[in-house]
Each structure stands twice: as structure tokens, then as C-alpha cells.
Structure 1
């Protein structure tokens, strides 16, 4: 899947999986160096791929939450060990 090779895609799936229903700001705060446009694009792509569900509430100010779909949960469970391994290797 080409989408998973794009920058931050795997990390977004794991962050949303860890936080549960997550707002944009919560996801953004997990990344120190991601641009807003990159993050927004990645979220839209993950929703379109069926890995994330997007819920928009009719409130002022507007509130949008992202949550893993069942397919996204399965992917997250498989990615988590890989990302842990990468972090460990970067630390050594």
C-alpha cells in the first residue's frame, strides 16, 4: 500500500490508536516537526483508505475527531512493534 510509505502515515495510525478518538490538535502535538498541510493531507488519505473514521460535530467552534476503523486497528496492532523497534534503534 503506497499510502503507508508516505511520511507520517504509520505514525498517525499509531497515535490515533493510542489516544482513541483524537482531535487534530492532539495528533499534531504528537509530532514536533510536521507541517499542518502534511498532517491534514495524511489524515484525509487515511480516512479515504478506510483506516481512519472522521467525525465532525455541529458545534462552535467546530470539533472533528478521528478514530481507527477495524481495519485501522488491525494495522496499528501490526505497526506498533515495528515502530517500537525503529525508536530503539534510533536511540542506540
Structure 2
């Protein structure tokens, strides 16, 4: 639970869950204001927690993609309604 309370953890799960396998730059572009170090640490933590899979391809230039594990998919399905509620609530305040 501690990991999910960290900045951007829930959003990273949901971004990858809605986009499918994603490269670092694609994930970063979804946030705009996230620092590279914060995003890198969060991706590493989520991978270590076995919520993400990090796949590195033997290509030039190197290519790395992140995708959800089975547990990550389950978590994403539970989180999406919460994020939709937050978004709807924020729209009603404007």
C-alpha cells in the first residue's frame, strides 16, 4: 500500500493500463510535469513490486517497454473508476 501512495504510482498503472505496452517517453508525455528521476524511480519500484514488466529489446537504438503484469491489470481495473470519479469531480468544480 505504501507504494501506491507515492506520487504518480497510481497514474503510471492507469496510463500503461489504458495505452498498453509503453515506452518511457510515452509515459512521461502523459504527465507533463513529472521529473525524470521521479518517474524512473516509480517505474523501477512498480517493476520490483511485480505490477509492471520491463522488457528491453536488443535493438539499436535500444528500446525498453513497460507493460502491466496480471496483478497490475487487476489493480488498474480497480483504480480506473476511482480516477474517473476524481476527473468528473474536478470538472464539476470548474
Q: How does 1:1-92 map to 2 (within 5 A)?
A: 1-92=1-92
Per-residue deviation at 1:19? 0.8
Structure 1 residue matching 2:66: 3-state secondary structure: strand
CA distance in 1, matches of 2:32, 2:67: 21
Tell me how far 1:60 sits from its aligned partner.
Answer: 1.3
68-77 or 24-33, which deviates more: 24-33
Instruction: Extract structure 1 runs of 4+ deviating beyond 6 A.
Output: none
**Distance in 1 between the 2:12 and 2:88 partners?**
19
Gaps of 5+ in 2: none
The 2-side partners of 1:54 and 1:37 are apart by 17
**How much does 1:77 deviate?**
0.1
SS in 2 for 1:53: strand
Partner SS, residue 77 of structure 1: helix
Shift of 1:87: 1.0
- What is the TM-score with the length of structure 2 in the denominator? 0.95
Quick one: distance in 2 between partners of 1:41 and 1:90?
28
